[in-house]
Amino acid sequence: MAAYGPFEGRGLNQIAVAGKSNVGKSTLINRLCRRNKLARTSSTPGKTRLINIFLLNDAFHLVDLPGYGFARVDKKEKARWGQMMQDYFASAEELKHVLCLVDIRHEPTEDDRTMNRFLRESGIPFTVVATKADKISRGARSKYLAPICRALLVQPWEIICFSGEDGTGREELLNRIGEVLGLQEI
C-alpha cells in the first residue's frame, strides 16, 4: 500500500514537486493545470502537510509533496514529515521525475542540498526550477542562478526559471515534462 494513500488512477506516471514551504509548489501546479485554488496555494508556510495528487490531461499525476524546512514545526512534526517522504519515495514506482523548486532570490538551504543529495544517491532524475522569477529582472538572472548552481551541482541552462505570477517558464516546463515522460503532447 502506498504511503500517500489510495487514489484513483494508480499506474499513471508521476512527476513530484518538492521544495521548502512557501517556495511556490502549489502555485506551480495550479499554473500547469491552468486552474485556480486547485492545489490550495496559501500564504501560510507549511500548510501543505499531506501529499496531494493532481491529474494533468489524463496523462500523468503531479504530486504536491509537503514542504520542508518550516521553522515553526516541532521535532515530532519534522519526524512525521521525514517518514512520509521516505515512505513516498520508497513506494512510488510510478515516480519518473522530481521538480526541485528553489526561490530564485535565495541561496539553497541545507534542506535543499539534502534533498538534492538524496535524489542523486537514489538515481531519481530531477529538474531544478527557480521560482518567483518575476521578482527579479531578466538581466539579473544569471547572477541569481550562480549560487543555486553551485549548491545543487547543476548548470545554469539546466534550470528552468518559472513564475506563477506572469507564466514565465510554463511552456518550457511542460516541454521538459513531456520529454522525460516521452509524451508527444501535453
Residues found near ligand GDP in the complex (CB under 6 A): 19, 21-27, 41-43, 48, 67, 131-132, 134-135, 163-165
Least distance between ligand GDP and beta carbon 144 (Å): 14
Residue number with CB closer to ligand GDP (121 or 164): 164
Taking CB positions, which residue lies at the least distance from ligand GDP? 24
Least distance between ligand GDP and beta carbon 163 (Å): 4
Q: Do the Cβ atoms of 61 and 73 come closer than 8 Å?
A: no
Residue number with CB closer to ligand GDP (27 or 127): 27
Q: In what order do the strands lie in the sheet with 126-131?
A: 52-56, 60-64, 14-19, 95-103, 126-131, 160-161
Give 119-123's long-range contacts (Cβ < 8 A, gap of 24+).
120/153, 122/89
Least distance between Mg ion and beta carbon 62 (Å): 12
- Give the one entry of ligand GDP, Mg ion, none that residue 24 binds, where binding means its C-beta sits below a cut-off of 5 to 8 angstroms depending on kind: ligand GDP
CA-based nearest residue to 84, from 101, 68, 100? 68
Determine the Cα–Cα distance for residues 92 and 101; give it in Å rounded to an integer.
20
- Give the one entry of Mg ion, ligand GDP, none that residue 21 binds, where binding means its C-beta sits below a cut-off of 5 to 8 angstroms depending on kind: ligand GDP
Least distance between Mg ion and beta carbon 91 (Å): 22
CA-based nearest residue to 52, from 112, 128, 42, 43? 42
